[in-house]
Amino acid sequence: MLAYLIRRIGQALLVMGVMATIVFFGLYTVGNPVDLLINPEDDLAAQEAAMARLGLDKPIHVQFGYFLAGLVQGDLGTSFVHNRPAIDLILSRLPATLELAFLAMALAVLIGVPLGMYAGLRPNAPASKAIMAASVVGFSTPNFWQGLMLIMLFAVFWGVLPAGGRGDTVDVLGIPLSFLTLDGLSHLILPALNLAIYKMSLVIRLARAGTAEVALQDYVKYARARGLSPVRVVGVHVLKNILIPVVTVLGLETGNVIAFAVVTETVFAWPGIGKLLIDSIGLLDRPVVVAYLMLTVFLFVMINLVVDIAYSVLDPRVRIRGGGK
């Protein structure tokens, strides 16, 4: 087990190292961030001073050396644009993304499971067919366009919800949260829905397949024969047994929510880490892009590790060996 953990963490460090190096050198070749930062009417001396201030006057391998030296001291560099430590910048934007992701996951489960169960229990009802057709469309619709259509309907045509931004927030333990104010909630609902629709389609499919299977099991027939109310049979006996695959897949999909948050945050101008990444790529703000990359890789490896370990605890047939899978 220990050997397994060391191996996985070693792998994670290797991936972080390789990706960070590619992006570090890649961004250097794409362009010079100073061109975007300084006043175009400034003279050459001002330009060189700006480059020296950001450490961009040195050759790329020297810059990389500084980056590595900072890294071992836990310093991921300072943003060229915001003039703040990149990691601070990302951590200050993280609550917005997490709030969005959690609400999206909650919506996906709370709406997806009942719809999927209904479709599983009454496979031939017109409503079930409509639910399944909607889930195919939800699966196929490109996330960013779906977001634009939500804005078009709710913000432009009907004017009931704001088109973007975060709105008022309330500080809870020093963390700004949107869902506690009416204005914040109205800003949160569209991006959360946009992020949730894809997951919801997935949950509907899983819940339907699970329900169709579980409904035929002997213990469900037995529960019915005992004269339990249909609400209790479906709400307790069926629901409990279909939740296992749903929870598993949602656990694995947590990482994807962060990836798709990049798209949703850009569409709705939601000030999370995804929007920060896109803005930083546009401005060639290398420290922020590299720090984002290292943080997400770390997050992903941790999620995968937890899922793998949870599997081996829940299902003894899955064995974790030091020698890999």
Partner 1 sequence: MTARADTPLARFAGDFVKSPTAVAAGIGLIVIALAAIFAGTVAPQNPYDLAQITILDGTLPPGSEGFDGFHYLLGSDEQGRDMYSAMIYGLRISLFVSFVAVGFAVMVGLVLGLLAAWRGGWVDGLIMRIVDIQLSFPALLVALLLLAALGKGVDKVILALILVQWAYFARTVRGAALVEIRKDYVTAARSLALPGWRILFGHLLPNVLPPVIVIATVQVANAIAIEASLSFLGVGVPITEPSLGLLIANGFDYLLSGRYWISFYPGVALLVTLVCINVVGDHVRDILNPRLSR
Q: How far is the CB of 214 from partner 1 (least distance, A)?
A: 17
Alpha helices in 141-271 (DSSP H): 143-150, 182-214, 218-225, 230-232, 239-267
- Whole-angstrom distance, CA of residue 93 vs CA of residue 229: 48
Q: How far is the CB of 39 from partner 1 (least distance, A)?
A: 23
> Rounded to whole angstroms, what are the CA distances from 286 to 2, 62, 124, 125, 213?
35, 15, 55, 54, 51
Which residue, 29 or 124, is less far from partner 1 as judged by CB?
29
Q: How far is the CB of 325 from partner 1 (least distance, A)?
A: 7
Q: How far is the CB of 273 from partner 1 (least distance, A)?
A: 12
Which residue, 25 or 64, is less far from partner 1 as judged by CB?
25
Which residue, 237 or 253, is less far from partner 1 as judged by CB?
253
Which residue, 210 or 237, is less far from partner 1 as judged by CB?
210
Q: How far is the CB of 45 from partner 1 (least distance, A)?
A: 29
Which residues lie near partner 1 (CB under 8 A)? 11, 15, 19, 22-23, 25-27, 29-31, 136-137, 139-145, 148-149, 151-152, 155-157, 163, 209, 255-256, 258-260, 262-263, 266-267, 277-278, 281-282, 289, 293, 296-297, 300-301, 304, 324-325
Which residue, 189 or 295, is less far from partner 1 as judged by CB?
295
Torsion sign across C-alpha atoms 138, 141, 143, 147: negative
Q: How far is the CB of 95 from partner 1 (least distance, A)?
A: 20
Unique residue bearing structure tokens 């000030």: 271
- Adjacent-strand bridge partners of 175: 172
- Whole-angstrom distance, CA of residue 298 vs CA of residue 293: 8
Unique residue bearing structure tokens 């430590």: 85
Bridge-based pairing state of the strands 170-172 and 175-177 = antiparallel
Which residue, 169 or 266, is less far from partner 1 as judged by CB?
266
- The DSSP code sequence of 269-292 is T--SHHHHHHHHHHTT-HHHHHHH
Instruction: Name the token pair of 4.
Output: 């397994």
- Whole-angstrom distance, CA of residue 69 vs CA of residue 61: 12
Which residue, 184 or 274, is less far from partner 1 as judged by CB?
274
Q: How far is the CB of 303 from partner 1 (least distance, A)?
A: 9
Q: How far is the CB of 275 from partner 1 (least distance, A)?
A: 10
Unique residue bearing structure tokens 């990482």: 255
Do residues 117 and 234 touch, judged by C-beta distance below 8 A? yes
- Whole-angstrom distance, CA of residue 128 vs CA of residue 138: 15
Do residues 112 and 132 touch, judged by C-beta distance below 8 A? no
Which residue, 172 or 259, is less far from partner 1 as judged by CB?
259
